[in-house]
Structure 1
Amino acid sequence: MFAFVSGWNDASNGPLLPRIQKVYNLNYAVVSLLFVFSCVGFISGAIGNVFLSERVGFGKLIVLGSALQAVGYSIQAAAPPFPAFVFGYFVTGIGLALQEAQAVSYVAKMKDKAELKMAIFMAASPGAVVSPLVATHFSTVPRWSFHFLTSLGISLANVVILSAVFRFKKQDECLAQIGVPAGDRGTSNRGEFRQIIALKEVHLLALFILFYVGTEVTLGGWTISYIINVRGGGSSAGYISMGFFGGMMVGRLALHWVNEKVGERRALIAYAVLAIALEFVVWLVPSLAGDAVAVASIGILLGPMYPIAMNHAGRVLPRWLLTGSIGWIASVGQAGSALLPFMTGAIASKAGIATLQPILVGFMAVMTGFWLLVPASSHRHD
Structure 2
Amino acid sequence: MLPRIQKVYGVGYAVVSLIFVFASVGFITGAVFNVILVEKLGFGKVMVLGSLFQVLAYCIESSGPPFPVFIFAYFINGIGLALQNANSVSYVASIKENAEVKMGLLMAAYGAGALSSPLVATQFSHLPQWNLYYLTSLGIAITNTIALIIVFRLKPQGECLSEIGIVDVDISTSEHSHLRQIFANKDVHLLAAFLLLYVGAEVTVGGWIVTYVIGVRGGGPSSGYISTGFFGGLTVGRLVLLRVNEKIGERLALFVYAVLAIILELIVWFVPSLVGDAVAVSVIGVLLGPMYPIVMNHTRRVLPRWLLTGAIGWIAGVGQAGSALVPFVAGAIAQNSGIKTLQPVLIGILGLMTALWALASHGSRRPD
Counterpart CA distance in 2 for 1:239 and 1:82 is 26
Structure 2 residue 178 is the aligned partner of structure 1 residue 163: no
Shift of 1:170: 0.5
Residues 59 and 186 (structure 1), Cα distance of their counterparts in 2 relative to 1, 3 Å cut: closer
Residue 23 (structure 1) aligns with: 8
User: Which one of the candidate residues 202, 224, 236 is aligned to 2:188?
Assistant: 202
- Matching residue's letter, 1:94: I
Paired residues for 1:76-91 under 5 Å:
76-91=61-76
Cα distance in 2, alignment partners of residues 247 and 188 from structure 1: 39
Cα gap change, 1:108 to 1:187, in 2 (>3 Å): closer
Counterpart selection for 1:369 from 351, 355, 358: 355
- Gap change, CA 1:381 and 1:190, over 3 Å in 2: farther
Q: Among 28, 36, 44, which residue is 1:51 paired with?
A: 36
CA–CA distance in structure 2, aligned partners of residues 380 and 239 of structure 1: 46
- Counting only pairs closer than 5 Å after superposition, residues 303-322 of structure 1 correspond to structure 2 as 303-322=289-308
Letter in 2 for 1:108: A
1:359 to 336, 345, 349: 345
Corresponding residue of 1:32: 17
TM-superposed deviation, 1:185: 5.6
Q: Determine whether 1:112 maps to 2:97.
A: yes
- Report how far residue 376 of structure 1 moved: 0.8
Deviations along 1:188-210, whole A, 9 cap, x unmatched? 99822212111111101000000
CA distance in 2, matches of 1:321, 1:53: 13
Aligned position for 1:96 = 81
Q: How does 1:182-261 map to 2 (within 5 A)?
A: 182-184=168-170, 191-261=177-247
Cα distance, 1:186 vs structure 2: 9.5
Q: 1:271 aligns with which of 253, 257, 268?
A: 257
Rounded to whole Å, the distance in 2 between the matches of 1:188 and 1:103 is: 18
Q: Say whether the 8 Å CA contact 1:227–1:233 is kept in structure 2.
A: yes
Q: Which runs of 4+ in 1 moved over 6 A?
A: 186-190
> Given the alignment, which residue of 330, 335, 355 partners 2:321?
335
SS in structure 2 of the partner of residue 376 of structure 1 = coil
Q: Give identity over the alignment, percent.
A: 62
Report the Cα distance in structure 2 between the residues aligned to 1:180 and 1:189, rounded to whole angstroms. 19
CA–CA separation in structure 1 for the residues paired with 2:93 and 2:170: 15
Q: Which runs of 5+ in 2 are unaligned?
A: none
Q: Deviation per CA, 1:275-295, whole angstroms, max 9, x where unpaired?
A: 000000000000000000000
Q: Residue deviations 1:205-241, cap 9 Å, x none?
A: 0000000000000111110000000000011000000
- Asked if 1:154 corresponds to 2:140, the answer is yes
Aligned-pair Cα RMSD in Å: 1.4
User: Can you give the 5+ residue segments of structure 1 that lack an aligned partner in the other structure?
Assistant: 1-15
Deviations 1:267-320 (A, max 9, x none): 010000000000000000000000000000000000000000000101111101
Q: In 1, Cα distance between the equivalents of 2:365 and 2:117? A: 40
**TM-score, normalising length: structure 1:** 0.94
1:333-353, CA deviations, whole angstroms, 9 ceiling, x for partnerless residues?
111110010000000000000
Note the C-alpha offset of 1:52: 1.2
Taking a change above 3 Å as real, the CA distance of residues 190 and 198 of structure 1, as seen in their structure-2 partners, is farther
Corresponding position of 1:6: none
Aligned residues: 367
Q: CA deviation at 1:129?
A: 1.4
Q: Deviations over 1:98-141 (max 9, x none)?
A: 00000000000101110011011111232211111100001100
SS in structure 2 at match of 1:124: helix
Instruction: State the AA in 1 paired with 2:46.
Output: L
How far is the alpha carbon of 1:380 from its aligned partner? 3.2
Contact map agreement 2:175 2:307 (CA 8 A) in 1: no
- Normalised by the length of structure 2, the TM-score is 0.98
| Amino acid in structure 2 at the alignment position of 1:370 | L
- In the alignment, residue 198 of structure 1 is paired with which amino acid? A
Partner Cα distance (1:266, 1:346) in 2: 34
Amino acid at match of 1:70: V
Shift of the 381–50 alpha-carbon distance from structure 1 to 2, 3 Å rule, reads: farther
Change (3 A) 1:187 1:148: closer
